[in-house]
Homo-oligomer: A and B are copies of this chain.
């Protein structure tokens, strides 16, 4: 796989359909760092990049697309489908929560909320795809998805990224896979996972992808039962530092992002910063650190109303 070419092609494809997300330099978190605010992306997470790239690079059938999702991927597929004129059917588990379910509903996609966990939603999505002929879009373990997410890092470098090390939260590995693919070892990548959902960490320990239990406050975004094969291969080839953070460290980072810069993000969006703030990752002296803020779909949604 010529990842550099794939990611450049993805960037050309999705231009005009995605937000070039801003960069923030901050000294509010204990040291001078750079953050990329990817939660400002359409639908509130990086997932829109992979979804748009997949739809534009594929021969989408008349029956449209199908996706199973903890929430953010489903919203991204629904959004991309609507923008590009395709039908979308999305399956989410109840744990997606009302904020993400509401977000998907607003796109006008055909939405099914499935009792139980993500695996149940995935099963229904697969059956739906087989029966209807619709194209299923995997949330993270597909080359077009990974290439789309890789555009975050390409874009960041074009914006002048000045860092030795990039901290990235990991669920199924689509985002960090794209980053590893683009960077190809040119910068250090730190994979940050919740202690209670750490499919990459366990895979690196075991030497192969393994099933892990998932729970905790970031589970509806980072709670992949098994790391994607694409991500695992890229991590094995390029190398990655793996660190874990507690739910309380994630909440501390969410609160710090709000108090310092009025950025309100979901737990997954604050997970990479949590590694720095909690000391789970301690940079060397002089090491220039960048943090990717990946999602903003917090629950409950904030109240905006008359006093």
* Residue ranges of A at the interface with B (Cβ–Cβ < 8 Å): 19-26, 28, 37, 39-40, 42, 44, 97, 106, 217, 247, 251, 254-255, 258-265, 296-307
Residues A265 and B262 in contact, CB atoms below 8 Å apart: yes
- Bound Cα distance A254, B301 (Å): 13
Q: How far is the CB of A160 from chain B (nearest CB, A)?
A: 12
Closest 4 CB pairs of A and B: A262-B296, A22-B22, A302-B302, A40-B261
Residues B304 and A258 in contact, CB atoms below 8 Å apart: yes
Enumerate chain B residues within 8 angstroms of A42, measured Cβ to Cβ.
28, 260
Residues A247 and B299 in contact, CB atoms below 8 Å apart: no
- Bound Cα distance A185, B244 (Å): 54
Enumerate chain B residues within 8 angstroms of A23, measured Cβ to Cβ.
22
Residues B44 and A262 in contact, CB atoms below 8 Å apart: yes
Residues B19 and A22 in contact, CB atoms below 8 Å apart: no
Q: How far is the CB of A140 from chain B (nearest CB, A)?
A: 21
Known: A261-B19, A263-B40. A307 touches B24 (CB 8 A): no
> Residue A22 contacts which of B24, B39, B301, B304 (CB distance < 8 angstroms)?
B24
Residues B298 and A300 in contact, CB atoms below 8 Å apart: no
Enumerate chain B residues within 8 angstroms of A259, measured Cβ to Cβ.
106
Enumerate chain B residues within 8 angstroms of A298, measured Cβ to Cβ.
302, 304
Known: A39-B262, A262-B265, A262-B296. A306 touches B22 (CB 8 A): no
Enumerate chain B residues within 8 angstroms of A44, measured Cβ to Cβ.
262
Enumerate chain B residues within 8 angstroms of A263, measured Cβ to Cβ.
40, 262
Q: Can you list 15 A-B contacts (CB < 8 A)? A: A19-B25, A19-B26, A20-B25, A21-B24, A22-B37, A217-B306, A217-B307, A254-B304, A258-B304, A262-B264, A262-B296, A264-B302, A264-B304, A299-B307, A302-B303
